[in-house]
Structure 1
Amino acid sequence: MGAIVNRPGQGTRDLTQGPIASTLLLFAIPTLLSNILQSLNGSINAIWVGRFLGAQALAATANANIIMFLMFSVVFGFGMASTVVIAQAVGARDIDAARRAFGSAIGFCSILGLAVATAGWIGAPALLHMLATPPEAYAMALIYLRVIFFAMPATLLVVMVMMGLRGAGDAKTPLIFMIVSVAIDLVLNPVLILGLGPVPAYGIAGSAAATAAAGIVSLIGVIAFLYAKDMPLRLRGPELRYLWPSADQLRVLVGKGLPMGLQMIVMSASGLVMIGLVNREGLLVTAAYGAAQQIWTYLQMPAMAMGAAVSAMAAQNMGAGRWDRISRITGYGIGYLLLVTGAMIVIILLFHEALLSLFLGSNMAAIAAAWNMQLLASWSFMLFGCTMILFGVMRANGVVVAPLVILTFTLFGVRLGFYELAYPALGADALWLSFPAGSATALLLAWAVYARGGWRKAKLMVPVHAEECRETVNSEAEPAGRIAPAG
């Protein structure tokens, strides 16, 4: 039985046609804006909590957020796996396969979210003890964490839906609902923390409830939008059975998703090790590093956004058999990355004192230390970004183990090895120079794997069952869902 081929329709962007340069840029910009909004939201929420509830509450949210990051890392992996499957299916004009992948991802994420919420609510005290949460912050952290776990299914689902939409070529809808989520969170945080107007003051629980409400409203909104606009990934009638993941879909989600999620965890673990080494240098250096990290967070965003955009665009072209476009997609992705990140680095270095004073006030000694870090390490984020582009292209065809091995080796072996060898001669500068040392090695290894080309022979698409195809053909009634390849 052949694949069911449908017109992509509204809400699905064809990334296999037209000029690569403008198509890629227009697709990447909404993802970059979403990332910036999300980071700004986190920073502003931390300001609300720190200013209104004090250092104990801020410590409580920091401890809870470590656990949340680990969960989102895993879900990010599953989301990226579903993104590339959906993108390959859309590229092949097989909308039924895209719906099957989307439904399986949503169903799997729903089950995972419910399990995590239940286990997290029960195990929250043990988790906080495991993290050695300070006693004075424990009670607040427990309340915050349990409210967040309560909302976990909706929060994870909205992430999965947005990633699925990007796989279908739609980066605008996720941006719209990211704006909705951030707006709700920003408004509700001070209202629920302080108890403005008729609303009682809920303190730390109010901050968690604001984040939870934002996630739930966004999920309801994006699902309603999917059906109101009759977007291609919506499921109706017999297609609702796709929400129960089949064994072959689960193999792709777990087999490809876990290594992708582990990449995020490896990067996070490396960051924790680095903080431990920085702490040995004293309070001044730690404060300077904290300020530098705030700026570096934004430097990483073009790499993550462009890597995701390149991955989705490459996957669609692979699905369409347009391998002739893959090298140019990679080239344009690297070009945009170097241009945007390079411009950001120039701005950061030119206005370093004003930017660093936002975090360090008038502490000129700390500003000088942070400036030294910026000079030695900031440019390495261009190398990091190029590596993420190459990983994104390979990921588009389901190659995920090689990137994980390269990241693990460079972040721990190369970076820490460089630090140990260079520290006697360079002192703390060995820490900042370990960034370019690790990034350069990662880029060389990623390029070696990419240039070798073995990743092109991988197979990602889940095989289509003939009986499922037949049932879908017989049940599909909407004119927009009929066999009609887009020109």
Structure 2
Amino acid sequence: MTENVTPTPVAVASDPASAPIPPRQTARGGMDLTSGPITKTLIVFALPTLASNVLQTLSGSVNSIWVGQFLGNSALAATANANIIMFLMFATFFGFGMAATVLIGQAIGRGDVDAARRAAGGAIGLALLFSLVIAVTGWFASDAILRLLETPVEAFTLAHDYLRVTFIAVPASMLMVTLSMASRGAGDAITPLRFMILTVVLDIVLNPVLILGVGPIPALGIAGSALATAVAGTISLLGMIAWFYAKKHVLCLRGAELAYLAPSWPELRFIIGRGLPMGAQMLVISGAGLVMVGLVNREGLVTAAAYGATLQLWNYVQMPALAVGAAVSAMVAQNIGAGRWDRVSTITNSGISVNLAMTAVLIVLLLLFDRAALTLFLGSDSPAIDVSRHIQLIATWGFLPFGVTIVLIGTLRANGSVVPPLIILFLSSFPIRLGLYYLSYPWLGGDAIWWSFLVSMLASMAMAFAVYKRGNWRRTLPQPAG
């Protein structure tokens, strides 16, 4: 392997047949995303990812129900504060995983299995190193982080206990996420779904056991909820690795290929060079989430608890966008690798249409049945229920433009265009959202948080469309030399 990056010839959408299409190898049990009806293929490929997201969110929701019912609103507010921090931790690595996924998708598309394995190995090695650093650092920095968030004093101790145990689970969780991303990049969305089912079942069963204690198992309170998640994730990770090797998955590393876990400089340079802006995108999103939590906490414990419950419901509303966006990104990457530029725009348009339809249905259902759902998290007599319903009525519609933005960014990202999406997300999340909040707070009060959220989502969609239509992203990105 040479120590340089060799650019591939530029290909544009108007020249789809510029090169012959090589034979392709997909993951065992995976899909060839470069042929067949686009909308049907997109939906079939996105459904396992959507199901995984549903299950993961369901697990979090059930855990929140346990916490809210057994430990009260202060504990629920504590988990909301801790969970946004964990999202921030994962966001810092997300870009590296996505850069590797782009490499994997394009390599599978052009039939280069060895390149796909090199990219997967590099991502896994980086994930292991990065997650260990985060776990150790987070353990010792928990108090300082919670103070920066202005965590309510009533929830501080609970949040501290929950967060510290959660940091212990970071290595297993991050490796699981990395393996799942790599598998989907190779066209296999079924394997991640199998082990998400295992994770959810274990997590739901272990949560009440460890929170309340059963027999010789002591009652651990909120720390028990975090420990249940850690145990479930570790067992599922070990099971997924064993499954990969038992089924001879296309991304399995054997013998000399295990050296790919220590990425060579070409792969490392590509993953870092493309991954840093992608990771920065997630940092911007999570940073905006942290700011939201800080602003919400200033409104008091009732609003903080209401927002924690609202986030649980919003997790479901945003799932179609995340699943369809991931499917679009994988499909576009494989089609670019195969030289099928003629399919890229249709994939993107189909992704937008499918996402809008699915998200609209979820929003309507949520607004119709939100009181019953909120009672599960907050209890039937909580004053936070009416606050949460008010939040949803204003802001939930923002997930329609959010979904469009995610699909457009997924297309750009699939071909290595990572800086424009970063700029878009930064502008919409900070200057626009915070500017609107501070300007309107004097006459809207706390509602300024929710209206600024909605308007910022519309702004990000408009900017993403402008980049997609006029940008120069339609070029084949340079690949690490093999």
Instruction: Tell me which interval the TM-score lies in, with the shorter structure as reference length.
Output: 0.7 to 0.9
Is the CA contact (8 Å cut-off) linking 1:32 and 1:301 kept in structure 2?
A: yes
Alpha-carbon distance, 1:261 to partner = 2.4
Greater shift, 405-414 or 194-203, is seen at 194-203
The Cα offsets for residues 143-180 of structure 1, whole Å up to 9 and x where unpaired, read as 54444333332221111111100101111110110110
* Residue 378 of structure 1, aligned match among 368, 392, 396: 396
* Residue 156 of structure 1, aligned match among 167, 174, 182: 174
Whether 1:262 aligns to 2:274 is no
Alpha-carbon distance, 1:337 to partner = 0.6
Alpha-carbon distance, 1:55 to partner = 5.7
The alpha-carbon distance between structure 1 residues 130 and 376, as it changes in their structure 2 partners (threshold 3 A), is closer
Alpha-carbon distance, 1:142 to partner = 5.2
The alpha-carbon distance between structure 1 residues 367 and 118, as it changes in their structure 2 partners (threshold 3 A), is closer
The alpha-carbon distance between structure 1 residues 198 and 148, as it changes in their structure 2 partners (threshold 3 A), is same
Q: Determine the structure 2 residue equivalent to 1:29.
A: 47
The alpha-carbon distance between structure 1 residues 43 and 462, as it changes in their structure 2 partners (threshold 3 A), is same
Whether 1:391 aligns to 2:409 is yes
Is the CA contact (8 Å cut-off) linking 2:152 and 2:297 kept in structure 1?
A: no
The alpha-carbon distance between structure 1 residues 62 and 104, as it changes in their structure 2 partners (threshold 3 A), is same
Alpha-carbon distance, 1:273 to partner = 2.9
The alpha-carbon distance between structure 1 residues 67 and 53, as it changes in their structure 2 partners (threshold 3 A), is same
Q: Determine the structure 1 residue equivalent to 2:455.
A: 437
Alpha-carbon distance, 1:74 to partner = 1.6
Whether 1:227 aligns to 2:248 is no
Is the CA contact (8 Å cut-off) linking 1:27 and 1:309 kept in structure 2?
A: yes
Q: Determine the structure 1 residue equivalent to 2:200.
A: 182
Q: Determine the structure 2 residue equivalent to 1:68.
A: 86
Greater shift, 225-234 or 406-415, is seen at 406-415
The alpha-carbon distance between structure 1 residues 178 and 354, as it changes in their structure 2 partners (threshold 3 A), is same
The alpha-carbon distance between structure 1 residues 300 and 24, as it changes in their structure 2 partners (threshold 3 A), is same
Is the CA contact (8 Å cut-off) linking 1:397 and 1:460 kept in structure 2?
A: no
Q: Helix, strand or coil for the counterpart of 1:379?
A: helix
1:327 corresponds to which letter in structure 2?
S
CA distance in 1, matches of 2:150, 2:380: 33
Is the CA contact (8 Å cut-off) linking 2:80 and 2:308 kept in structure 1?
A: no
Alpha-carbon distance, 1:289 to partner = 4.7
* Residue 124 of structure 2, aligned match among 94, 100, 106: 106
Alpha-carbon distance, 1:341 to partner = 0.7
Whether 1:249 aligns to 2:267 is yes
The Cα offsets for residues 167-210 of structure 1, whole Å up to 9 and x where unpaired, read as 01111110110110111111122223333234344444433332
Q: Provide the TM-score with structure 1 as the length reference.
A: 0.85
Alpha-carbon distance, 1:212 to partner = 1.7
2:49 corresponds to which letter in structure 1?
T
2:89 corresponds to which letter in structure 1?
M
1:296 corresponds to which letter in structure 2?
W
The Cα offsets for residues 28-52 of structure 1, whole Å up to 9 and x where unpaired, read as 1111111121122122223333444
Greater shift, 412-421 or 440-449, is seen at 412-421
* Residue 401 of structure 1, aligned match among 402, 415, 419: 419
Alpha-carbon distance, 1:278 to partner = 4.7
The alpha-carbon distance between structure 1 residues 338 and 60, as it changes in their structure 2 partners (threshold 3 A), is closer
CA distance in 1, matches of 2:269, 2:185: 19
Whether 1:171 aligns to 2:177 is no
1:335 corresponds to which letter in structure 2?
S
Greater shift, 426-435 or 133-142, is seen at 133-142
Q: Determine the structure 2 residue equivalent to 1:211.
A: 229
Ranges in structure 1 where 5+ consecutive residues have no aligned partner: 465-487
Q: Provide the TM-score with structure 2 as the length reference.
A: 0.86
CA distance in 1, matches of 2:155, 2:447: 34
1:337 corresponds to which letter in structure 2?
N
Alpha-carbon distance, 1:25 to partner = 0.3
Q: Determine the structure 1 residue equivalent to 2:466.
A: 448
Whether 1:344 aligns to 2:362 is yes
Greater shift, 368-377 or 451-460, is seen at 368-377
Q: Determine the structure 1 residue equivalent to 2:137.
A: 119
The alpha-carbon distance between structure 1 residues 7 and 387, as it changes in their structure 2 partners (threshold 3 A), is closer
Alpha-carbon distance, 1:319 to partner = 0.7
Greater shift, 354-363 or 170-179, is seen at 354-363
Q: Determine the structure 2 residue equivalent to 1:15.
A: 33
Is the CA contact (8 Å cut-off) linking 2:27 and 2:187 kept in structure 1?
A: no
CA distance in 2, matches of 1:356, 1:318: 44
Whether 1:308 aligns to 2:326 is yes
Query: Which aligned pairs between 1:186-197 and structure 2 lie closer than 5 A?
Result: 186-197=204-215
The alpha-carbon distance between structure 1 residues 50 and 24, as it changes in their structure 2 partners (threshold 3 A), is same
Is the CA contact (8 Å cut-off) linking 2:120 and 2:251 kept in structure 1?
A: yes
Alpha-carbon distance, 1:62 to partner = 4.6
Percent identical among aligned pairs is: 57
Is the CA contact (8 Å cut-off) linking 1:77 and 1:257 kept in structure 2?
A: yes
Is the CA contact (8 Å cut-off) linking 1:74 and 1:257 kept in structure 2?
A: no
**How big is the alpha-carbon RMSD for the aligned residues of Structure 1 and Structure 2?**
3.1
2:236 corresponds to which letter in structure 1?
S
The alpha-carbon distance between structure 1 residues 168 and 133, as it changes in their structure 2 partners (threshold 3 A), is same
The alpha-carbon distance between structure 1 residues 324 and 176, as it changes in their structure 2 partners (threshold 3 A), is same
Highest Rg: 1 or 2? 1
1:98 corresponds to which letter in structure 2?
A
Q: Helix, strand or coil for the counterpart of 2:474?
A: helix
Q: With a CA cutoff of 8 Å and minimum separation of 6, indicate the structure with the bigger relative contact order.
A: 2
CA distance in 1, matches of 2:356, 2:436: 25
Is the CA contact (8 Å cut-off) linking 1:121 and 1:146 kept in structure 2?
A: yes
The alpha-carbon distance between structure 1 residues 275 and 103, as it changes in their structure 2 partners (threshold 3 A), is closer
Alpha-carbon distance, 1:125 to partner = 5.4
The alpha-carbon distance between structure 1 residues 147 and 447, as it changes in their structure 2 partners (threshold 3 A), is same
Greater shift, 54-63 or 430-439, is seen at 54-63
Greater shift, 137-146 or 398-407, is seen at 137-146
Query: Which aligned pairs between 1:35-46 and structure 2 lie closer than 5 A?
Result: 35-46=53-64
2:257 corresponds to which letter in structure 1?
E
CA distance in 1, matches of 2:98, 2:480: 15
1:93 corresponds to which letter in structure 2?
G
Q: Helix, strand or coil for the counterpart of 1:411?
A: helix
Is the CA contact (8 Å cut-off) linking 1:5 and 1:94 kept in structure 2?
A: no
Alpha-carbon distance, 1:56 to partner = 6.1
Alpha-carbon distance, 1:134 to partner = 6.7
2:174 corresponds to which letter in structure 1?
L
Is the CA contact (8 Å cut-off) linking 1:299 and 1:345 kept in structure 2?
A: yes
Alpha-carbon distance, 1:65 to partner = 3.2
